[in-house]
């Protein structure tokens, strides 16, 4: 075994990993147009060599599936064994400085002050109207060091927002105790190892006892081959698993190590069906800048003390909705007949009244039912409520169902 490669990781430790679809039955939705020059992750050639079907997604050329393995088969493999996803298109950032905690608490409604070192939280970046600029996972390493992952499809919007708000912050009295620095980890790899066999496989490659790395926690883990990598327990599938951040020069080699049997390379097709079964949102479809965290059912990301102080961007509207209630809410649906797709209108039963619309919908490989995520008017959002959905110009019966559709299997120790 070679000497552990820790030098390239000092940028990550000194600053402060955690926290998007298709088969013949699932229609892939791309964020890219044919006129855009697509970016490539550090694993592009690796995907092509492994028979990946590459498609445009969030401005990147990404693997939809591999070889003859279909979306449903890949989905089921992750649910029963382990799959490896390239999520290197996501934007990885570090924030550091004496006032980094206060700065990030200004941008988000989350309670970062009380977050323990090397723990993570899902959060949202809010605009002045309380709309969601992006959803994000924030990992705290210390009060002055954070690692933040944001969506590839929001790259330009997020980085512009960070830049503008940093300039505003650092020129104000709020930064009197110290300015905040932002670093984008350009070219760094990020892979997600997900499934019930993910932990046992990763454990076979490390001396680190992964039983102590519970859901939402992260650590630097020594890996076979002399690597020392930031590993966060969590993911986007509802299964137990890990997201692993990798320096550019090591991404290919680490991925090769992580993708041996029983682990199966898995693309966007399965990733979408897995995340929807897990009740997780996809930005640009289930979330946008005209949607608040209250409407989206993400009220839990707003810290208790943050509700009292209201010292975050967009607080006025968010706190108003907390008090008065939103006019619409995100819900889950089980739909009869053909699957309801994005944009399908939802009607009050036996009435010519539109009360909402579907934002994501698929045939669930795990449940054998058609599931969907949607927004409906408040008052129609209760569990068990029956509605009708316009699918292929015919109204189909649907029932509001709690999410996640499939019970999560996170490792909580």
The 10s digit of each residue's pLDDT in 9-66 is 333 433 333 333 333 333 444 444 444 699 999 999 999 999 999 999 999 999 999 9
pLDDT score, position 110: 98
Output the pLDDT for position 4.
35
Q: Identify the residue whose tokens are 């490792």.
A: 411
Using DSSP bridges, classify how beta strands 264-265 and 83-86 pair: parallel, antiparallel or unpaired: parallel
Give dist(CA 191, CA 63) in Å, integer: 13
The reported pLDDT for the residue numbered 351 is 85
Can you list the residues of the chain whose pLDDT is less than 50? 1-35
pLDDT for 245 = 98
321 within 8 A of 327, measured Cβ to Cβ: no
What lies within 8 Å, CB to CB, of 166 at 6+ separation is: 103, 180, 182
Q: Using alpha carbons only, give the angle 210, 213, 214 rounded to the nearest 5 degrees.
A: 125
**Residue 256, H or E segment:** helix 251-258
In DSSP terms, 233 is beta-bridged to 242
pLDDT attached to residue 350: 85
**Sheet with strand 227-233: strands edge to edge:** 218-223, 227-233, 241-246, 189-194, 83-86, 264-265
Helix and strand numbers (H, E) in the chain are: 10, 19
């Amino acid at each position: 075994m070679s000497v552990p490669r820790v030098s390239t990781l000092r940028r990550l430790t000194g600053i402060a990993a955690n926290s998007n679809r298709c088969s013949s039955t699932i229609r892939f939705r791309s964020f890219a147009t044919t006129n855009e020059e697509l970016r490539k992750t550090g694993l592009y050639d690796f995907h092509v060599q492994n028979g990946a079907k590459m498609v445009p997604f969030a401005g990147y050329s990404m693997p939809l599936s591999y070889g003859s393995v279909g979306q449903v088969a890949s989905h089921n493999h992750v649910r029963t064994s382990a799959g490896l996803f390239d999520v290197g298109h996501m934007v990885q950032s570090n924030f550091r400085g004496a006032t980094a905690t206060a700065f990030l608490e200004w941008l988000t409604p989350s309670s970062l002050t009380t977050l323990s070192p090397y723990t993570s939280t899902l959060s949202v970046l809010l605009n002045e109207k309380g709309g969601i600029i992006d959803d994000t996972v924030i990992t705290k390493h210390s009060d002055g060091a954070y690692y933040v992952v944001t969506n590839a499809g929001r790259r330009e919007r997020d980085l512009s927002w960070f830049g503008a708000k940093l300039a505003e912050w650092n020129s104000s009295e709020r930064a009197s105790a110290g300015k905040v620095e932002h670093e984008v980890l350009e070219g760094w790899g990020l892979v997600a190892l997900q499934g019930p066999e993910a932990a046992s496989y990763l454990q076979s490659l490390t001396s680190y006892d992964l039983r102590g790395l519970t859901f939402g926690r992260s650590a630097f883990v020594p890996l076979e081959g002399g690597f020392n990598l930031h590993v966060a327990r969590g993911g986007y599938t509802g299964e137990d698993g890990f997201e692993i951040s990798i320096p550019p020069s090591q991404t290919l080699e680490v991925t090769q190590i992580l993708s041996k049997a029983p682990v199966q390379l898995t693309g966007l097709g399965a990733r979408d069906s897995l995340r929807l079964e897990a009740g997780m949102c996809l930005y640009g479809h289930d979330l946008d800048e005209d949607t608040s965290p209250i409407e989206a059912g993400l009220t839990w990301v707003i810290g208790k003390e943050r509700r009292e102080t209201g010292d975050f961007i967009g607080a006025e509207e968010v706190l108003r909705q907390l008090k008065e209630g939103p006019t619409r809410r995100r819900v889950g649906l089980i739909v009869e007949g053909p699957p309801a797709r994005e944009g399908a209108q939802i009607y009050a039963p036996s009435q010519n009244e539109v009360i909402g619309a579907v934002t994501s919908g698929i045939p669930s490989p795990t449940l054998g039912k058609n599931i969907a995520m949607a927004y409906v008017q408040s008052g129609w959002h209760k569990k068990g409520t029956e509605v009708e959905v316009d699918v292929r110009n015919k109204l189909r019966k649907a029932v509001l169902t709690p999410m996640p559709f499939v019970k999560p299997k996170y490792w909580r120790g």
